[in-house]
Amino acid sequence: MVLRDLISDVFRTIWAHKLRTALTMFGIAWGVVSIVLMVAAGEGLRVGQAKVSKTLGKDVMIVFAGTTSMQAGGTRAGREIEYLNTDHLVLQTEATDCQYVLPELETKDVRIHSAFNAASVIVTGSLPPFGDVGSLDIASGRFYSWDDEKQARRVAFLGTEMKKQLFPGRDPVGENIYLNDVPFQVIGVMKAKDQDSSYDGFDVNKVFVPFSVMVRDFPNKPPKLKDSVDHLLVTPKSIPQHEACKGEVRHILGRLHHFDPTDKEACPIWDTVEEAKAFTTMTDGMKYFLGAVGLTTLFLGGIGVMNVMLVAVRERTREIGVRKAVGAKSNEILRQFFVEALVVVLVSGGGGLAAAFAFCWLVDLIPMPPFFAGLLPTWQSGALAVLLLGVVAVFSAVYPARRAASVDPIEALRFEAGG
């Protein structure tokens, strides 16, 4: 049998059994769609949550000043720790596993107004790398620079909500705002971002100024020391170094402020790197769970496909007998059934993939919640579904056909479907 005749016979047979073929194809397509959508939902949740978690900071550890719970160096437990605005210089030099050590000083007792409106605001001062570490993407203008920091220029970078409130419908870059009646030039505006956690208020509601300006114009008042900072922001040089970096920070601060480095109450650290690892484990678990649900659906679809294929081949036992009686070889019969199953799998699997990806695309046109990135299908999940259902379909067609082809043609001709 030449290839052209084989293909012609395959499509003629498929067309002659339209309903049966349609049921088989629907089972395969449904299995592919189900697993692709399940995995896409899990991936959308993982990517969305990971994206939002990055808005707090990029692999950052927030080092707070706590209260000692252990005696150290002759000092009593229960002593409040205050970090100085020079501690970051020592840490940056000695903590070799840390990339950035940034002081952060804040105040909420600031009157702020522009020529158009007034607002209540949190003013935050830090060093220039804070813009990158804190994920403060720039919508217009720029973030303050090391030159601004060294010269203690009164410049300000606005959160998106502050921009809307102080300069409604206007571009604030180059304009002045007044913090406690002191003029500051606006040099940039932050891009809008969805933030689901914070240690001191959402960034969109803040005004950011250089650290040197913050120390000079808005020093901490009692009970804080005049030269203290609220907390320190630390980032490791790499993820594998983050535990070593954290240990160095506790050890150096313990030496500077006379507390036991193992006293976590004296130096509490919000470790977003550890949180990210735990979150990845959780979202991976959810993705695997949804994938398992999809595989279960795929398995049930595979049983349906197998049943339809087995019945289809069983009903064609007489046809196999006729073919053998007129001289067809067993290999030629098996080849036809194999090609028929392969065509059904490729067409229905491809259709299922196209339908799943099209559905995901349509759903993603709808505005999504901040913590969900939409349905993100992967080719791997679709290919796996097509492969598994394809193996089931081909095996369910070829195995009974092989058994029927090995039977004596006379016995095959005597076979009655359903008997």
Q: Which DSSP string do the residues of 316-361 spell out, in sequence order? A: THHHHHHHHHTT--HHHHHHHHHHHHHHHHHHHHHHHHHHHHHHHH
Nearest to 381 by CA among 356, 410, 415: 356
pLDDT (0 to 100) of residue 348: 81
Cβ contact 338:397 at 8 Å: yes
pLDDT (0 to 100) of residue 331: 75
pTM recorded for the entire structure: 0.65
Q: Which pLDDT tens digit goes with each residue over 297-316?
A: 667 666 666 666 666 666 66
Rounded CA separation 58/55 (Å): 8
Question: DSSP readout, 264-326?
Answer: TTTS-EEEHHHHHHHHHHHHHHHHHHHHHHHHHHHHHHHHHHHHHHHHHHHHTHHHHHHHHHT
**pLDDT > 90: what percent of the chain?**
21
pLDDT (0 to 100) of residue 53: 63
pLDDT (0 to 100) of residue 272: 81
pLDDT (0 to 100) of residue 70: 81
For the chain, which ranges sit under pLDDT 70? 1-11, 13-14, 16-17, 49-57, 72-75, 195-199, 220-226, 287, 290-291, 294-295, 297-298, 300-321, 323-324, 326-328, 370, 397, 399-401, 403-419
Pairing state of beta strands 269-271 and 61-64? Answer: antiparallel
